[in-house]
Amino acid sequence: MNEPIDLITSQENPRIKAARKLHTRKGRIAAGALLVEGVRLLGDAWRSGIRPEIVFYAPEMLGSDEGNALLASLQEAGCACFGCAPAVFAALAETVTPQGIAAVLPLPALPMPPQPTLILILDGIGDPGNAGTLIRSAEAAGADAVIVGPGTVDPFNDKVVRAGMGAHFRLPLRRCAG
Task: Give strand ranges (E) for 9-70.
Answer: 33-37, 54-57
pLDDT digits (tens, 9 = 90+) for 54-99: 999 998 877 788 999 999 999 999 999 999 999 999 999 988 888 8
Task: Give strand ranges (E) for 62-178.
Answer: 81-84, 101-106, 119-122, 145-148, 173-175
Mean pLDDT taken over the chain = 93
Residues in the chain: 178
The CATH-assigned architecture of domain 119-175 is 3-Layer(aba) Sandwich (3.40)
Q: Please list the residue range(s) of the chain that carry CATH number 3.30.1330.30.
A: 7-106
- The pLDDT profile of the chain, 178 residues, written as one tens digit per residue, is 455 567 899 999 999 999 999 999 999 999 999 999 999 999 999 999 999 999 999 988 777 889 999 999 999 999 999 999 999 999 999 888 888 999 999 999 899 999 999 999 999 999 999 999 999 999 999 999 999 998 999 999 999 999 999 999 999 999 987 6
Just give the CATH number of 7-106: 3.30.1330.30
pTM of the predicted model as reported, rounded to 2 decimal places: 0.90
Q: Please list the residue range(s) of the chain that carry CATH number 3.40.1280.10.
A: 119-175
Q: Which helix (H) or strand (E) holds 106?
A: strand 101-106
